[in-house]
Copies of this chain bind each other. A is one copy, B any other.
Amino acid sequence: MATVNPNYENLQGSYLFANIARKVEAFKESHPEADIIRLGIGDVTRPLVPAVIEAIHAAVEEMGSADTFRGYGPEQGYDFLRNAIAEGDYAPLGITIQPDEIFVSDGAKSDVGNIQEIFSENNIIAITDPVYPVYLDSNVMGGRTGKAINGIYEKVVYLPTNAENNFSPAFPKERVDIVYLCCPNNPTGTVLSRARLAEWVQWCKDNEAILMFDSAYEAFITSTDTVRSIYEIEGAREVAIEFRSFSKTAGFTGTRCAYTVVPHEVTAKNAEGKRVPLNPMWNRRQTTKFNGVPYIIQRGAAAVYTPEGRAQIKEHIAYYMENARIIREGLEAIGLTVFGGVDAPYIWIQAPAGMSSWDLFDTLLEKVHIVSTPGSGFGPEGEGYLRLTAFGSRENTIRAVDRIKTLQF
């Protein structure tokens, strides 16, 4: 008799974006004339840059001719891309990453969701609150969380991350084996300082914990007191796995390419207490259950590292970050308290006193026809906040801010 994974029953409904969509639909029905501006979902809007487009076209041509056709590629990614990543993303930071420490994949979401598989079921995980939901849900499915009581999983350690602690969570007091940190952060748009990250690396060493470091937004960093890679921190190679993506950096949300770095030195213990390297385990996972990213997509990703690609991508990042500045300064000008938007394309707005996340969401939708994301959707500590994204067009961003400025809080 086949039986289902019982852990799936512990999942909570993922109703956030469905609820938002329902509210927007209802509003549109009652206000068909309303010109709605969407600054809710974290999806890019600028097209793929010319260098990427040209590289993909050229690779498609190769695939159409028997002489240059490519069948199965290496599951971990082609050398041309792994080398480009090592030389383009890490060497400039003074970091040596070997190509065989880089695993190219179809998305940071896939990797961040799948990585828990190589760990035993009895690891205790810590996540920040608010948080990107995949860290949590993949561990619910993997049996590491227990049941949720009033929305809080019994075995998960939550790290409150809010204005009171300047968005820099305290260390766990309980036993924790795996810590997820996202920096620059989704949803808060804030970063952790270099000094604090060094303390986190040391904390992981002291506690024999693994640090899952999600730096999908590193390309948006403009301030200097943080890191672009966790491997800028001494000793991080022994405890940290880093997740990177072309999604936001190069507009690949619909094109799908990312990578994960598993240094040779990072280990965890087996049942006998012996240290086991994680790199061969992840390699085995990927070669068994994944067959690589399309050749043509990898060629597109490699083009991001050409001089033309770099310059074109930089323009897009600057475009989004100018949107972020417009939103941030515009809202500050009317007395709202806002965070983020300096090192990330997210602006995290504190709701005026007495308003919940959904209150502010409703106000923006009903009064000025702007779609946002209520902070409470990212975890209990997100209550009282709201996320806007800088991924819209310049025109819509300016119009949205002008409209919000008409509101009285």
Binds B, one of A82-90, A91-99, A193-201, A287-295: A287-295
Q: Does A364 contact B (CB under 8 A)?
A: no
Contact A60 B57, beta carbon cutoff 8 Å: yes
Q: Does A106 contact B (CB under 8 A)?
A: yes
Given contacts A6-B270, A138-B289, contact A294 B256 (CB under 8 A): yes
Contact B63 A43, beta carbon cutoff 8 Å: no
- Minimum Cβ distance to chain B for residue A64 (Å): 4
Contact residues in B for A1 (Cβ distance below 8 Å): 177, 207-209, 268-269
Q: Does A4 contact B (CB under 8 A)?
A: yes
Q: Does A118 contact B (CB under 8 A)?
A: yes
Q: Does A254 contact B (CB under 8 A)?
A: yes
Contact residues in B for A209 (Cβ distance below 8 Å): 1-2
Contact B295 A119, beta carbon cutoff 8 Å: no
Q: Does A223 contact B (CB under 8 A)?
A: no
Q: Does A399 contact B (CB under 8 A)?
A: no
Q: Does A123 contact B (CB under 8 A)?
A: yes
Please tell me which one of the listed residues B46, B69, B287 contacts residue A45 in the complex, with CB atoms under 8 A apart.
B69
Contact A119 B254, beta carbon cutoff 8 Å: no
Number of copies: 2
Q: Does A120 contact B (CB under 8 A)?
A: yes
Q: Does A8 contact B (CB under 8 A)?
A: yes
Q: Does A113 contact B (CB under 8 A)?
A: yes
The range of chain A's interface size is: 35 or more
| Most chain B beta carbons < 10 A, residue from A73, A255, A289 | A289
Q: Does A53 contact B (CB under 8 A)?
A: yes
Contact residues in B for A31 (Cβ distance below 8 Å): none
Q: Does A23 contact B (CB under 8 A)?
A: no
Please tell me which one of the listed residues B118, B208, B290 contacts residue A109 in the complex, with CB atoms under 8 A apart.
B290
Binds B, one of A277-285, A351-359, A377-385: A277-285
Q: Does A9 contact B (CB under 8 A)?
A: yes
Bound-state Cα–Cα, A281 to B271, Å:
31
| Most chain B beta carbons < 10 A, residue from A113, A276, A291 | A291
Q: Does A44 contact B (CB under 8 A)?
A: yes
- Minimum Cβ distance to chain B for residue A373 (Å): 14
Contact residues in B for A278 (Cβ distance below 8 Å): 4
Given contacts A2-B208, A71-B253, A72-B254, contact A65 B47 (CB under 8 A): yes
Q: Does A210 contact B (CB under 8 A)?
A: yes
Contact residues in B for A122 (Cβ distance below 8 Å): 3
Given contacts A70-B254, A141-B117, A296-B56, contact A291 B2 (CB under 8 A): no
Contact B5 A118, beta carbon cutoff 8 Å: yes
Contact residues in B for A66 (Cβ distance below 8 Å): 45-47, 393
- Minimum Cβ distance to chain B for residue A387 (Å): 16
Interfacial residues of chain A within 294-318, with CB under 8 A of chain B in the complex: 294-297
Q: Does A148 contact B (CB under 8 A)?
A: no
Contact residues in B for A110 (Cβ distance below 8 Å): 289-291
Bound-state Cα–Cα, A251 to B118, Å:
32
Bound-state Cα–Cα, A324 to B110, Å:
38
Contact residues in B for A172 (Cβ distance below 8 Å): none
Please tell me which one of the listed residues B60, B70, B120 contacts residue A6 in the complex, with CB atoms under 8 A apart.
B120
Given contacts A69-B45, A110-B290, A291-B109, contact A2 B64 (CB under 8 A): no
Query: Can you offer 27 A-B residue contacts whose CB atoms are under 8 A?
Result: A1-B177, A1-B207, A1-B269, A2-B119, A2-B178, A2-B268, A3-B268, A4-B276, A4-B281, A5-B119, A6-B270, A9-B271, A47-B63, A48-B64, A50-B64, A53-B61, A57-B60, A63-B254, A66-B393, A71-B253, A107-B290, A109-B291, A110-B289, A113-B288, A256-B291, A294-B294, A294-B297
Beyond the given pairs A6-B271, A50-B64, A113-B288, 9 more chain A to chain B contacts, judged by CB atoms under 8 angstroms and listed by A's residue number, are A4-B119, A5-B118, A5-B281, A6-B270, A44-B71, A48-B60, A57-B60, A109-B290, A297-B297
